[in-house]
Structure 1
Amino acid sequence: MMLQDGSTQLLCLTASSGVPLFTRGASKQQLPFSVIGSLNGVHMFGGGQGVALSCCETEGGGKVVWRVFRDSVMLIAVSAGGARSGAGGSKEREVRLQRLLENVWNCMVLVLGQDELANVRNVERLKRDLRSCFSLIDQLLEERQEGILGSLTHCADSLLPPNPALLQEAVDSFAQAADSEFGCLVVHGRIATATEKWWRLAPPEVVLLSALIRSLSASGSASCDYPVFLPQGSPTVAHRLLRFQLLPGADACVLCGPTPSLHGAETGPVGRFWSPLVETLRDCLAVGERCLPGSVSLRPDVLALLLINRETRRSVSCVRTSTCHSHGESPPLSKARCWELLKLFYIFSTSRYFNQEETSCVSPEERAQRCNTEDFALGFPHQPQQCYLVTEECKSFGLQTPQHQLFLLILPSVPTFALRTVTTQTLSDILAGTGF
């Protein structure tokens, strides 16, 4: 049976002196200062002996990972023990925690800029400034919205609308009218369409901008003007993120410079390009969490899927829980458990068999950090293209092609020999219906 993670606490300290900057986590019981000091001390001791301490496991099954960024800020993630194990659960947890630390650092750069973090001049002021990152960091820690997997996959969570051509023309024209080449339409927290330059941003930047847009949308404001730094494209010079609510659940956004003003864009381009498309936007909203248009029909034995376009670094995902089961069978899985199993199978597959192709957008220190972990795939004389996993709760199958990766959760009643057929048919049906 696959692992179900326990609670996670995140610690942030100055790398040189170990002064705590903040602690975040869902657990009400915070780690005592003595434990925080010990975690920092053992890392510093290892560094003094020429040892790079990146991860350890406690006797109770907990996991601790360390990461120092720009020789200035140390992030420590502590995951509680007692979780259900299996399928290499310890490795899955380490992958998630390492990815969490990368995302949190990029989140801090997105909001504050790299200069303020790399050159800490006033610790107390930095503590105050970091509070503006807490809503985003909590979103990463708590994974509040089911089906949002970008923080794990570093692919843009997408929704495939029924009328993509109309929306693409609107977002291109809207961005141009706002003196920008970077624009997108976000529906239910997922990108429905975006300009070509938006897709050219580094995948972690697209993921974090989407998270920020969700956070701003949840604030209830109809529009906002928010300064952001791009962690890889522009870590020291801020841009403006303009967000406009078109309908509840649908937001148009652009990244721009000093012009236009928020009011000017709201009274001009927003109404001109989006008002004629209200019904098209409603059709897009109707797609909902399924993320696929009604023209795509899925097999009834498919519980959940995650489809990644390896070239564009976009993904679509959905869960379809079973409502009935035969006498003697286990009760159907909840939606939350399906999402958890889908994430765990993704980590299981990509950490052992499939490639995570992010070399163009990963810093040298991050690439070196990943090389420190055991690479299970090195034992193969070839690149695996398929993998599967059978558990008590479901059967899972992963398929990799030159352009796509597809991960499925399938009812346990489906024969194991039929898993490949179900997966290839599902991929063919989605591509035929959407061109994704």
Structure 2
Amino acid sequence: MSVIVIAVATDSGVPIFSRKRGNCDNVQFSTIASLHGINMFSKCHNLTIMKTQVDNGSILWKEYCKSVTLIGIVTGGLECDLELLLLYVHNLMVFCIGKKELENLKNIDQIKRELRQCYPILDYLLEAVDPNCVSQTCMFLDLIQSMLCPQAQQLQQVLDSYSERVTGRWPCLSIHGHIVATGTDFYELDSVEAKLLMLLAASQDGAPLRETPIYLPQMSPNVAFRAVTCKLLADVYVLVICGATPPLSEIDEIVLQCWENSAHIIKEAKLVYPRNFPLSITFEPCILGILIINIPKKRCVFSRHLAGNQKGKNISSLHRIDVLRTFFVTTARDLAPELQIKEGDDKECCSSQCVPSEAYWCSEYHKWHARRIADLMACVLYAPTVPIHTVRLLTNQILQEISTSKEVFW
């Protein structure tokens, strides 16, 4: 499996960056020039080349801001997510340098240097289309990975207080790259912006306190904000968007005042990982993996560590992730058309469509079942011996338990 994303200046064809993941060689300049030449040749003839198939994969071209062409190449991965990947890469470029800078491209060498800061986040995005990757942070491009812990409501109250003290907005708290609590105003953000902020917090690489200028691709593509990320404990980060004040030295003091008395709550919340569900929610041994999605908030909770006596222990964790992720991306996603991310103003309403409420696959080695009830969807991986009628019953019970549990707080 391999995935490559290349950015080139549309008019000049000068490469801006090339990032890859998987078993592939670095892309030569001559290859980049040829790929861009194909796109330019079609434009000269008033044609738009969208996609082409290659051996065991495909190549996709997308132009953004009339200045940058993104080329995506994937072999052996989740090809159906390639267009979504390029959309996220474009938004990430705006997130880092702003839309106006991206449209003008006056100094490409400077833009190349400025975009290096986005490489860690870009690598997270590439993980989402790699079936061989056990990603803690970005299993799905269009969903925010989360944990459900009993302490979430208490942590949200502390988070709102901290945000108010630093005169910030849209705060979030992550543990092991999973969102645990968000500020009450967090969902004012577009889902792409929320996803990129979460990945920014995950990519801080251990820095105790850091500020990063960022642009919000939908809300503020041309005016920068200041994202302040603070490491509270190992693998625990809090992020908030601030103005020019207060300075980092003052924020450091506020962090201590707000969070010092909550350290024991955070440590209790950390114990929920990697199960990612409260212990009060139980799962049958025949369940090998589970994905729960909160559709309006575009948050997901995934776990493969459900019980100590699971059937099918010989199935690797990597394989469980791969087959469950493939089931969601290729089939179960159709149960929630609201998750589709439209470009620009293309936000066509899905209410008139006939949307299924459940789906399942069967094979010699597994059974998969997806069920949607109201705003929650469950995708569950079962042992192959479980009858279909039992599969449906168990999935319904899981959704019912999660929707009524007092220890679940999104």
Alignment TM-score, normalising by the size of structure 2: 0.91
1:404 aligns with: 376
Secondary structure, in 3 states, of the residue corresponding to 2:137?
coil
Q: Does 1:357 align with 2:338?
A: yes
Q: What amino acid sits opposite 1:319 in the alignment?
A: R
Deviation at 1:366, TM superposition (A): 6.8
Q: Counterpart of 1:89?
A: none
1:93 is aligned to 78
Q: Which amino acid aligns with 2:338?
A: E
Q: How far did residue 295 of structure 1 move?
A: 1.5
Cross-structure match for 1:88: none
Which residue of structure 2 lines up, in the alignment, with residue 146 of structure 1?
A: 135
SS in 1 for 2:272: helix
Task: Give the deviation of 1:324 after TM superposition.
Answer: 7.4
Answer whether contact 2:153 2:409 (CA < 8 A) is retained: no
Which amino acid in 1 is paired with 2:62?
Answer: R
Q: Distance in 1 between matches of 2:157 and 2:310?
A: 46
**Is the 1:147–1:318 Cα contact (8 Å) retained in structure 2?**
no
Quote the Cα distance in structure 2 between the aligned partners of 1:156 and 1:391.
Answer: 29
User: What is the alpha-carbon distance in structure 2 between the residues aligned to residue 432 and residue 324 of structure 1?
Assistant: 26
Distance across 2 between alignment mates of 1:393 and 1:38? 43
Q: What does residue range 138-217 of structure 1 map to in structure 2 within 5 Å?
A: 138-143=123-128, 146-149=135-138, 151-152=140-141, 154-216=142-204
Pick closer, same or farther for the CA change 1:111–1:185 going to 2, 3 Å: same
Label 1:365 to 1:34 Cα distance change in 2 as closer, same or farther (>3 A): farther
**CA-to-aligned-CA distance 1:56-90 (integer Å, 9 cap, x gap):** 111x222111111111111111112xx4xxxxxxx
DSSP 3-state at the match of 2:11 = coil
Equivalent residue in structure 1 for 2:273, among 280, 284, 288: 288
Counterpart residue identity of residue 384, structure 2 = P
Residue 70 of structure 1 corresponds to 65
The answer to whether residue 261 in structure 2 is matched with residue 276 in structure 1 is: yes
Note the C-alpha offset of 1:321: 7.4
Letter matched to residue 389 of structure 1: W
Q: Distance in 2 between matches of 1:149 and 1:127?
A: 24
> Compared with structure 1, are the counterparts of its residues 288 and 383 closer, same or farther at alpha carbon in structure 2 (3 Å cutoff)?
same
Determine the structure 1 residue equivalent to 2:122. Answer: 137
Rounded to whole Å, the distance in 1 between the matches of 2:374 and 2:194 is 22
Per the TM alignment, residue 169 of structure 1 is displaced from its structure 2 partner at its CA by 1.2
**CA–CA separation in structure 2 for the residues paired with 1:325 and 1:255:** 43
Please state whether the residue corresponding to 1:278 is helix, strand or coil: helix
CA distance in 2, matches of 1:321, 1:333: 14
Aligned partner of 1:314 among 291, 299, 303: 299
8 A contact 1:156–1:207 mirrored in 2:
yes
TM-fit CA distance, 1:323: 7.5
Amino acid at match of 2:323: L
How far apart in 2 are the matches of 1:399 and 1:357? Answer: 15
1:429 to 385, 401, 407: 401
CA RMSD of the aligned region, Å? 2.5
Paired position in structure 1 for 2:227: 241
**Shift in alpha-carbon separation, 1:145–1:172, aligned structure 2, 3 A:** farther
> In structure 2, do the counterparts of structure 1 residues 53 and 206 end up closer, same or farther at CA, with 3 Å as the change threshold?
same
User: How far 1:119 moved relative to its partner?
Assistant: 0.9
Give the whole-Å Cα distance in 2 for the aligned partners of 1:122 and 1:321. Answer: 52
Matching of residue 35 in structure 1 with residue 3 in structure 2: no
Structure 2 counterpart of 1:86: none
Name 2:6's counterpart in structure 1: 11
* Contact 1:308–1:316 (CA under 8 A) maintained in structure 2: yes
Q: Alpha carbons of 1:421 and 1:114: their partners in 2 closer, same or farther (altered >3 Å)?
A: same
Give me the whole-angstrom Cα distance separating, in 2, the residues matched to 1:103 and 1:366. Answer: 16
Deviations 1:245-269 (A, max 9, x none): 11112112211101111110111x2
- CA shift in 2, pair 1:350/1:13, >3 Å: farther
> How far is the alpha carbon of 1:284 from its aligned partner?
0.5
**What TM-score comes out, normalization by structure 1 length?**
0.86
Q: Kindly, what percent of the aligned residue pairs are identical? A: 28
Instruction: Report the count of equivalent residues.
Output: 402
Please state which structure has a larger fraction of its residues in helix.
Answer: 1
2-structure distance, mates of 1:93, 1:276: 44
Residues 187 and 250 in structure 1, CA contact (< 8 A), matched pair in contact too: yes
User: Structure 2 residue aligned with 1:298, among 272, 280, 283?
Assistant: 283
Q: CA deviation at 1:318?
A: 1.1
